[in-house]
Amino acid sequence: QLLREQLTPNASGLIVAMVGLPARGKSFISRKVERFLKWTGNRTQTFNVGKYRRDAVDPETSGKSDFFDKSNRDAVVQRMQMAMAALADAIKFLDDGGKFAIFDATNSTVERRKLIADKVSSAGRKYSILWVEAVCDDEEVVMFNMLTKVRYSPDFQQMTEEQAMQDLKQRIANYEEIYETVQDSEGAFIKLFNLSSKVMANHCYGRVAKSILPYLMAIHIGSPPLLF
């Protein structure tokens, strides 16, 4: 019982933190979960780090792949600042009575996730974190996500579709160099493979097991399979 309380306690607020490479459907999942939780009567808000980045640095600069290169030290510092600003706002939202704060970012390394977990645990309130990792290796799903991103994201408005696709591929490659999947030791998580064709859950109890997990098992991006 103590382990359950430590992992997914009946906390006064929950941060649902996304994890995943670009174009894996994180924002799609975030929007779906936000609508669902609001529909169930829970005060919920999404904090998208990409929006914080674009608000702080013109997307013509911050939207290009070299801004996500680990060797671009200035950009690394700026991206960290924006992520922490979004996290601070998410925690404040919970402080002000919110129930679920969705932290929509790549959160792609163990080090970054530990930093986030430490910030949340030091917030002074009984908040917990659920990691939701979007894992996608289905080429058709990835291509659909990439096309959606380059056509609708402000990052690519000044590029042709072909230029945008090449730049996005390079951004993904930059993240792939450092990406680390969520480990069992990191606490409660849900992993969605190819947007719920397979779902893996770790230490999910209480309201997570009763609401978020079943919902994530049900979402899909395309046509559902036919069952006979």
Instruction: Name, in order, each residue with C-beta under 8 angstroms of 155's C-beta and a sequence gap of 6 or more.
Output: 50, 54, 59, 62, 63, 64, 149
Instruction: Name, in order, each residue with C-beta under 8 angstroms of 73's C-beta and a sequence gap of 6 or more.
Output: none
pLDDT band at 218 (very low <50, low <70, confident <90, very high): confident
Instruction: Name, in order, each residue with C-beta under 8 angstroms of 146's C-beta and a sequence gap of 6 or more.
Output: 23, 165, 168, 169
Alpha-carbon gap, residue 83 to 202, rounded angstroms? 25
Residue 39: phi and psi, rounded to 5, are: -60, -35
Q: How many other CB atoms sit within 10 Å of the CB of residue 202?
A: 16
Query: Each residue of 19-60: pLDDT tens digit?
Result: 999 999 999 999 999 999 999 999 999 999 999 999 999 999
On the question of pLDDT at 4 being above 80, the answer is no
Tokens of 3: 């382990």
Alpha helices per DSSP H over 66-220: 73-95, 110-121, 139-152, 161-176, 206-207, 213-218
Q: Which residue has the higher pLDDT, 195 or 10?
A: 195
Would you state the pLDDT for residue 220? 60
Q: Supply angle C-alpha 59, 85, 146, rounded to 5.
A: 40
Strand partners, 129: 15
On the question of pLDDT at 103 being above 90, the answer is yes
Tokens of 71: 């060797």
pLDDT band at 151 (very low <50, low <70, confident <90, very high): very high
Per the CB < 8 A criterion, the answer to whether 134 and 28 are in contact is no
Query: Each residue of 51-60: pLDDT tens digit?
Result: 999 999 999 9
Tokens of 19: 């994890």
